[in-house]
Structures are given as C-alpha cells and as structure tokens.
Amino acid sequence: MNPTDGSPKPPILLMVAGAAGAVASTVAAAVAAASETPSAVLPALTTADRFPYLGSPQTMAFAGWDVPQRSLTEALRSHRVIPDAKWRDLDTAITAMPLLEAPDPALKLRDQTQQLMDEMRSLRDALPHAHPVLINLLPACETCGTDGIESADELLDRSDPAAFPDLAYVLAAIRSSIPVVNFTPNAVETPAICREAVRAGVPIAGRDGKTGQTFLKVVLASAFKARRLTVDGWYSLNILGNADGENLMDPARAAGKMQNKTRLLDEILGYAVGHRYGASTHKVHIDYYPPRGDAKEAWDVIDFSGLFELPMSLRINLQGRDSILAAPMVIDLARWLAAAQLAGFSGPLADLAFFFKKPVGSTPPLQFHDQVARLAEFESACAQRVGKDNS
C-alpha cells in the first residue's frame, strides 16, 4: 500500500464492507492473483478489455472491514471456496491487505459513519492515485425501517445501525465522494440515499448481484418472450451451504432476496405468470444444505406453451459456485463505477442492470439483450465524456 515503494500504481482500490466473507475473500484472492497469474483472473472479467484509460485490472488494491474474528487468509481457508493450493503463493500479498474492524454496533449511526469516513480517508491517502469504490458485501438483513425518511441527515439521526449496518458504510462512502456498489439484497438505495448521491456527484449501483440461477432466468425469460412462448409456471429451487444460505433461512432476512428473485420474471415477460390459476405459479425456494458449502445447486422446471397452447417443459440443473461466480462481477462493477465517476455520472445507475437482480435507477432495461446493449452504450458514453475513444 505504500505509494512510494516503486510498485505499480493500482488504478482501483476496492473498499469492501464484509471483507472476510465468502465473496469478499474470493475477491481478495482474485485481486492478488490478477498481478501474479493474470491468466487465472482476467479471462473471467467482462471488463478486462474495457476502460483502457482506467489502467490495467492486473494491479488493483483491496481493503475492507469485518467483525474482528479472523484474517483474510483464515477466512479463505474456512470458506473453502478456493483450494488452498491455488492461493498459497499469494499469502503474503493477501496478508498485506488492510482488514479493519467494523465500527462498534453500539455506536450511533452518525458516529459509525464518521469513523468510517476517517478510515476511508486514511486508506485513500495511502494510495492517492487509485479510484476507491465501496463494495457492500454485508449479510442480508431484515427490512430496514427507513420508510418516510427524506434526507441523509434524518437517516443519520433516526436509523438503527445495529439493524441496518450497511447504511454507515454507504453514507460514509457517499460523503467521501466514493462510488458505491450494493451487491447485497439490502434496500440501501432509499430516496434519501439516492438524493444524497446525486447531491455529492457519486454514482451508485445495485441491488443484489445476478450471479447464477437468476442470471439464467433472465436469459431464458428474455428468449421465451422473444419467441412468443408463453410461460405457464416456473419452479426454482436452490440449495447452498454457506453462511449466506444459513442467513437466508431467516424468512425476515430472506424477504428482500425472494422479492428480487421473484418479481423480475413477470416484469420481463410482461404478464403475471400463473394469472389463469388466480395465483402466481412462479415459485422460488432457497434451502440451507450444509454439505454443499459454497457449491450451490439449483433446479428449474419451466412449463410453457406454444401454438394451440400445447404444453412443453424444460428442466435445468445448475451446479455452480456462488463466490466464484460473484467475485469477477464485483471487480467488474468496481471498474464500471470508477469509469462512471470519472465521466461525471451520479446517483443510481440503471445502465448496469446486467449485473443485478433488482436494478436501481429509472427504467432499467429488463430483457437480457437490452441489458447487454445498454452496457455497450454506457461504455461509449463514459469514454466520450472523459474524452477517450472507446478502443
């Protein structure tokens, strides 16, 4: 982290809330590996060839906050997302990444935010050439009691940081002019936060990374719609055995994620799936199943019809890896947000709908092909505004 030691200047500094979690520690390993063994990381990024004016994704920096239990290497070992042999040689680089203690939950939100702003300034001072981006990777929380709060100052006075710890990180980032990625299902993009982001000239992107089953659902639903095949029902089941899966067994904490996973199908198709039965036939279940750890499995049964309303059916079985799917998206998002900030965009970015289950911002594209096209348009808009050609 010493800018005077002659090492290459990292163009992006990922500041991560929840830094020792399964996704975040995988990101830390990927950041370290990007410079040592770029062939293991860069092909998995969708931005490796984008934003040449941002510098190379080979030299990024990682720092973050977590509750004080373990180091990043202990976290990597315990999550068992990446076999030890694949990151053992990166041990020194990973150990050098700053891991700060999360603010005391007993502190008021205003005090937590101030503490985080001070820490963000120190992290930034250590790498003055880097573009910092806050990545929210905290656990899913319950609905967060921010309804009716109109301003960031009111949020600071009235919100309960113990129930909604994300707010302190997001407010601290916005007030430090640091763009925000909300990868969690937590509804941090309240009207007050969005207004504050616009006022501060800070872009924010979210909500809820679209990594596995929902990614495929958006692709397939867009294809069904394009072919005028009518979806009569869609049954989705997930099993996963990581901390996120365990946390989501609490129905109050899972509520946001379930809504994000469910609503988008009707929105893409343009009709209510199951309307002829008088109730939705889009069913989504998540089950915590410890033997699987981070190796999530998902099944989808899709009942659909075509000419003469004759029924057909499709089955999908995804054997994925939650954090391996998520980590490159986090790095891509950090690069998009840095580019968006350089280009002067602020507030919620609907253009990044490609990455999220519940894209924020005004009228985000819903169909997969529109989301891909919108990314290319936004890339050009960013390049134009910073005065670079897009090559």
Ligand X SMILES: NC(=O)c1ccc[n+]([C@@H]2O[C@H](COP(=O)([O-])OP(=O)(O)OC[C@H]3O[C@@H](n4cnc5c(N)ncnc54)[C@H](O)[C@@H]3O)[C@@H](O)[C@H]2O)c1
User: Looking at 210-310, which runs of residues are DSSP E strands?
Assistant: 230-240, 282-288, 297-305
Q: Is 119 in the site for ligand X (CB under 6 A)?
A: no
Question: Which residue's CB is nearer to ligand X, number 23 or number 61?
Answer: 23
Which one, 53 or 299, has the nearer CB to ligand X?
299
Distances from the Cα of 52 to the Cα of 15, 39, 66, 125, 203, angstroms: 22, 18, 32, 24, 20
- Give dist(CA 381, CA 389) in Å, integer: 10
Q: Is 217 left (phi over 0), alpha (psi -120 to 50) or beta?
A: alpha
Please say which residue, 18 or 55, places its beta carbon nearer to ligand X. Answer: 18
Both tokens of residue 76?
């990597």
User: In this chain, which of 159, 182, 184, 371 binds ligand X, going by CB under 6 A?
Assistant: 184
Interior CA angle at 166 toward 345 and 188, to 5°?
50
Q: Rounded to an integer, what distance in angstroms lies between the CA atom of residue 198 and that of residue 190?
A: 12
Among 13, 32, 66, 182, binds ligand X (CB under 6 A): 66
Q: Does 322 bind ligand X (CB under 6 A)?
A: yes
Under a CB-based contact definition with an 8 Å cutoff, are residues 227 and 314 in contact?
no
Handedness of CA 80, 81, 85, 89 (dihedral sign): negative
CB of 122 to ligand X, least distance (A): 17
Q: Which stretch binds ligand X (CB under 6 A): 61-69, 114-122, 147-155, 221-229?
A: 61-69
Six-digit token string for 183? 């990868």
Least gap, CB of 18 to ligand X (angstroms): 3
3 state SS for 165-233 = CHHHHHHHHHHCCCCEEECCCCCCCCHHHHHHHHHHCCEEEECCECCCHHHHHHHHHHHHHHCCCEEEE
Nearer to ligand X, 14 or 20 (CB): 20
How big is the site for ligand X, counted in residues (CB under 6 A)? 29
Our CB check for ligand X shows the closer of 58 and 71 to be 71
Give 196 or 244: the residue with its C-beta nearer to ligand X: 244
**C-beta closer to ligand X: residue 322 or 379:** 322
Does 65 participate in binding ligand X (rule CB under 6 A)?
yes
For residue 328, the minimal CB distance to ligand X (Å) is 11
17: contact with ligand X by CB under 6 A: yes
Residue closer to ligand X (CB basis): 318 or 386: 318
Is 23 one of the binding residues for ligand X (CB under 6 A)?
A: yes
Stretch that binds ligand X, among 46-54, 83-91, 318-326, 374-382 (CB under 6 A): 318-326
268 binds ligand X (CB under 6 A): no
Cβ 360 vs Cβ 333: under 8 Å: no
Please report whether residue 139 would count as binding ligand X according to CB under 6 A: yes
Q: Which of 367, 325, 371, 365 is nearest to 44 (CA)?
A: 325
Q: By C-beta, is 295 or 383 nearer to ligand X?
A: 295
According to CB under 6 A, which one of 126, 198, 243, 318 is a site residue for ligand X? 243
Contact string (CB under 6 A) for ligand X, positions 198-227, x = contact: ----------xx-x----------------
> Could you say which residues in the range 339-378 bind ligand X, by CB under 6 A?
none
User: Could you identify the residue written with the tokens 């600071």?
Assistant: 156
**Which of 29, 134, 138, 187 is close enough to bind ligand X by CB under 6 A?**
138
Distance CA 85, CA 91 (A): 11
Q: Which amino acid is at 180?
A: V
Q: Compute the least distance from the CB of residue 215 to ligand X, in Å.
A: 9
Site for ligand X in 77-106 (CB under 6 A): 102
By the rule CB under 6 A, 244 interacts with ligand X: yes
* Closest distance to ligand X from the beta carbon of 150 (Å): 25
CA distance 316 to 303: 12
Tokens at 206, concatenated = 């979210």
Q: How far apart are CA 95 and CA 81, in angstroms?
A: 17
Residue, CB closest to ligand X: 21
| Residue of 10, 11, 55, 165 interacting with ligand X (CB under 6 A) | 165
Measured distance CA(16)–CA(55) in Å, rounded: 20
> Which residues of this chain interact with ligand X, rule CB under 6 A?
17-18, 20-24, 65-67, 102, 137-140, 165, 183-185, 208-209, 211, 242-244, 322-323, 325-326
